[in-house]
């Protein structure tokens, strides 16, 4: 099994510079399908699935390795080494943004710029930090997921997606949850929602765009502003898009924000 097979890597586009796109929890590389056409001419797009998601090799899932986000970041760096990537653009959604953060800190020469879509370094409110959830909220979420994965998926998908007037978006996310191995998904949820990368943010050297949606229950505005203020070289872009997945619900606005940042 090669690294490229492990993560179901697909490479699209004809541009000289590489752009890696990392999906968030419960999704796979298919979520970028409305974004990728806009960048085919200028970039070499590297799409992949985190181990345990999409068409990745499930036999590569080792619970010990993936018990922290570092295991996923190590996979990103494996891809970069295999493809010989330097000074790439990393686009990460939600927990995918934190995975990229860890990869870029470990090997900064790999990434010239970062785009973080709805990032959250910590989901739990603590002291002066507003994460959006209490520890009891997260414990309840994880207990619900453990006891009834399919029921949890159908209930949480509309919350994550927002845009209640477009139920097809929540249906797509729910279907994505249902395609994921439940045991792996449960473990990844625990790793995601209990992670705390706040102290890692100041270590990032790459220029970064933080895309913050309106009415995002998963990563509210206070979190986006915290990420922006904690990064040495970042720009915060407030989107009109609502929910947690603007690359699906508002791809044109997302593309415009990315293009503006990448040419600046």
Just list the catalytic residues: 94, 216, 244
Q: How far apart are CA 110 and CA 194, in angstroms?
A: 27
- The set of residues, in sequence order, having a beta carbon less than 8 Å from that of 226 and lying 6+ positions away, is 121, 129, 130, 198
Q: How far is CA 138 from CA 135, 143, 189, 194, 230, in A?
A: 5, 9, 10, 8, 24
Residue 136: CB atoms within 10 A of its CB come to 9
| Neighbouring C-beta atoms of residue 227, cutoff 10 Å | 27
Give the closest residue to 28 by CA, choosing from 141, 193, 178, 197.
Answer: 178
The Cα 29–Cα 22 span in angstroms is 7
198 touches 129 (CB < 8 A): yes
């Amino acid at each position: 099994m090669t690294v490229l097979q492990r993560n179901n890597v697909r490479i699209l586009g004809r541009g000289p510079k590489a752009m890696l796109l990392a999906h968030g929890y419960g999704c796979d590389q298919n979520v970028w399908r409305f974004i990728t056409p806009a960048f085919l001419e200028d970039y070499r797009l590297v799409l992949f699935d985190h181990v345990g998601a999409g068409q990745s090799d499930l036999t590569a899932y080792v619970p010990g390795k993936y018990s922290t986000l570092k295991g996923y970041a190590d996979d990103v760096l494996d891809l970069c080494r295999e493809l010989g990537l330097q000074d790439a653009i990393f686009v990460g959604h939600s927990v995918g943004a934190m995975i990229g953060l860890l990869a870029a800190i470990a090997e900064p020469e790999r990434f010239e710029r970062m785009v973080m879509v709805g990032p959250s370094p910590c989901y739990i409110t603590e002291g002066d930090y507003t994460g959006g959830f209490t520890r009891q909220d997260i414990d309840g979420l994880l207990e619900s997921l453990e006891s009834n994965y399919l029921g949890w998926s159908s209930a949480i998908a509309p919350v994550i997606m927002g845009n209640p007037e477009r139920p097809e978006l929540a249906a797509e996310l729910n279907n994505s949850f249902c395609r994921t191995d439940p045991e792996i998904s449960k473990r990844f949820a625990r790793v995601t929602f209990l992670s705390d990368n706040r102290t890692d943010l100041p270590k990032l050297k790459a220029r970064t765009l933080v895309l913050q949606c309106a009415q995002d229950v998963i990563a509210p505005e206070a979190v986006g502003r915290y990420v922006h203020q904690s990064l040495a070289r970042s720009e915060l872009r407030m989107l009109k898009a609502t929910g947690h997945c603007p690359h699906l619900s508002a791809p044109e606005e997302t593309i415009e924000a990315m293009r503006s940042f990448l040419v600046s």
